[in-house]
């Protein structure tokens, strides 16, 4: 289909789309989804009347899914737009079936840690987004007075780091900072999302690794060297601290990009205790294994790290059992020079994996191999992230009243990840060359077809979202 056709489709605000397999909250069943004015007005019988509206037929080899929600995306604009940007990232999102994303407060300059910087970011995003975009604010030392101002400005919650973030303009917090900030967040009813690694175990591990490297040539090129420098203990200590602070302050707490199997028990216990405590993991922790990362392959570097095969299987078990709630991308690209791919130095390379466009097929490939259904995958990649940011009245489900954000997905079709298929600004990704199952054929945003097999609607149709619009 050509781009011109997509533009024409934008005005078709009233139609019915039906499929033999539609993922609805109750499961996967034949259904006809009635769309009017950008919303789902009814989910009816497959063979029911269309009331004279145009009918879009999805063939039997495809599944109709709710648009994906990705609550962990670094877009880096303004300030580091050479790393990524609203145009490229949201095109990648549309091509990956993602219709809603929430953008991280750091790696852009300024970082989103004041109300003014939030307005700067919204202005930078205006008119560029192909999907709906919301924003996180940041908790950094000394910005407590800004938290209610940013919250009133529409951020979905606040991110903090317990270790250095990698960029100078977003400082990490200490337990004392959190003891001051979290009661304020609890009072506001705001969500705190946490990069959960503590400094001490990493500093000790890094010193040991550097000491050992003195006698060895090229040890920084080996993945194992990096893995040893980011021990599970750093994550485990951080999760323990956050459970305690959540219990003491009552602030809703969410662990981002959880990787350590050793602290899954802490997540389970926090939930069993009834604390408002959730956690996400990412496609790379569920796909790759430390044993398989080639020497010098810094495209696999992220923090916390991809761990061993055994650890990966425990993360899958935790998803199945509900200790981990969702899978989001943590799309965090940078220019290829910063990955130091030539040198292959894992200790000096920027940590971050680019995967915004690939999340659905990456997760589906591994999930189906372990016997998980597409409904379960939709919960992890769409419904659960929508609930996290309280957008579940509008996003993440095919249900009357929700936005008509839909994905036509071919679960049995395979493709090889070629860098030129990627809409990300930079094409370096550890998924390159992998064969994945599941092709996103088309994506609808509020009833408008924004993506169709490589073609995009030429006008960005995405809206900037604010907290509170979703229920
Ligand atoms: Zn991140």
CA 44 to CA 428: how far, in whole Å?
Answer: 43
pLDDT at 54: 96
Q: Which of 374, 229, 408, 395 is nearest to 305 (CA)?
A: 229
Ligand 1 mean position, distance from CA 36 (Å):
36
CA 104 to CA 72: how far, in whole Å?
Answer: 6
**Contact present, 75 and 103 (Cβ < 8 Å):** yes
Of the chain, the end-to-end C-alpha distance in Å amounts to 35
CA 428 to CA 355: how far, in whole Å?
Answer: 10
The model's pTM is 0.96
- Which residues are registered as beta bridge partners of 14? 36
Ligand 1 mean position, distance from CA 276 (Å):
21
Ligand 1 mean position, distance from CA 322 (Å):
22
Ligand 1 mean position, distance from CA 304 (Å):
10
Count other Cβ atoms within 10 Å, centred on residue 236. Answer: 21
Ligand 1 mean position, distance from CA 197 (Å):
13
The beta strands (E) that lie in 126-237 are given as 132-135, 137-138, 158-161, 191-195
Going along the chain from its start, the domains and CATH numbers come out as 67-397+412-435 (3.20.20.140)
pLDDT at 141: 98
The beta strands (E) that lie in 318-458 are given as 326-327, 406-416, 435-445, 448-452, 455-456
Ligand 1 mean position, distance from CA 165 (Å):
9
CA 392 to CA 367: how far, in whole Å?
Answer: 23
Binned average pLDDT, 10 residues per bin, the chain of 471 residues: 44 86 97 97 96 96 98 97 96 98 97 98 98 98 98 98 96 98 98 98 93 75 96 98 98 98 98 98 98 97 98 98 98 93 93 97 98 98 98 97 98 97 95 98 97 93 92 56
**Contact present, 186 and 249 (Cβ < 8 Å):** yes
> Residue 371, exposed/middle/buried by CB under 10 A (0-12, 13-18, 19+)?
exposed
Report how far apart, in Å, the C-alpha atoms of 26 and of each of 23, 32, 397 are. Answer: 8, 15, 10
**Contact present, 69 and 99 (Cβ < 8 Å):** yes
CA 291 to CA 223: how far, in whole Å?
Answer: 8
Ligand 1 mean position, distance from CA 446 (Å):
27
Ligand 1 mean position, distance from CA 114 (Å):
19
């Amino acid at each position: 289909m050509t781009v011109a056709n997509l533009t024409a489709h934008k005005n078709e605000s009233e139609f019915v789309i039906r499929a033999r397999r539609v993922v609805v909250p109750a499961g996967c069943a034949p259904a006809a989804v009635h769309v009017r004015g950008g919303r789902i007005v009814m989910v009816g019988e497959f063979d029911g009347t269309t009331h004279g509206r145009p009918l879009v037929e999805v063939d039997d080899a495809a599944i109709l899914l709710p648009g994906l929600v990705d609550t962990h995306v670094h877009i880096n604009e303004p300030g580091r737009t050479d790393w990524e940007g609203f145009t490229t990232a949201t095109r990648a999102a549309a091509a990956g079936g993602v219709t809603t994303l929430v953008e991280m407060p750091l790696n852009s300059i300024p970082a989103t840690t004041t109300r003014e910087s939030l307005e700067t970011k919204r202005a930078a995003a205006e008119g560029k987004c192909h999907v709906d975009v919301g924003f996180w604010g940041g908790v950094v030392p000394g910005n407590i007075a800004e938290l209610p101002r940013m919250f009133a400005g529409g951020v979905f919650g606040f991110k903090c780091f317990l270790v250095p973030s990698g960029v100078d303009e977003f400082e990490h917090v200490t337990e004392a900072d959190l003891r001051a900030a979290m009661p304020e967040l609890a009072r506001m009813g705001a969500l705190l999302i946490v990069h959960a690694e503590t400094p001490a175990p990493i500093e000790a591990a890094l010193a040991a690794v550097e000491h050992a490297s003195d006698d060895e040539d090229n040890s920084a090129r080996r993945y194992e060297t990096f893995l040893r420098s980011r021990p599970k203990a750093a994550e485990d200590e951080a999760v323990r601290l956050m459970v305690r602070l959540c219990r003491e302050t009552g602030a809703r707490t969410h662990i981002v990009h959880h990787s350590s199997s050793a602290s899954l028990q802490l997540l389970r216990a926090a939930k069993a205790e009834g604390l408002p405590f959730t956690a996400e993991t990412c496609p790379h922790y569920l796909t790759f294994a430390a044993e398989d990362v080639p020497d010098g392959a810094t495209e696999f570097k992220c923090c916390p790290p991809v761990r061993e095969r055994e650890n990966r299987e425990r993360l899958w078990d935790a998803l199945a059992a509900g200790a981990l709630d969702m899978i989001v991308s943590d799309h965090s690209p940078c220019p290829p020079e910063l990955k130091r791919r030539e040198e292959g130095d894992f200790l000096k390379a920027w940590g971050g994996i680019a995967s915004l466009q690939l999340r659905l097929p990456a997760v589906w490939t591994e999930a189906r191999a372990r016997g998980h259904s597409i409904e379960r995958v939709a919960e992890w990649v769409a419904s659960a992230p929508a609930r996290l940011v309280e957008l579940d009245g509008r996003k993440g489900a095919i249900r009357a009243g929700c936005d008509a954000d839909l994905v036509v997905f071919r679960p049995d079709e395979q493709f090889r990840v070629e860098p030129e298929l990627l809409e990300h600004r930079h094409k370096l990704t550890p998924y390159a060359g992998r064969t994945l199952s599941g092709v996103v054929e088309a994506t609808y945003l509020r009833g408008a077809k924004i993506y169709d097999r490589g073609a995009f609607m030429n006008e960005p149709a995405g809206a900037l979202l604010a907290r509170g619009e979703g229920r």
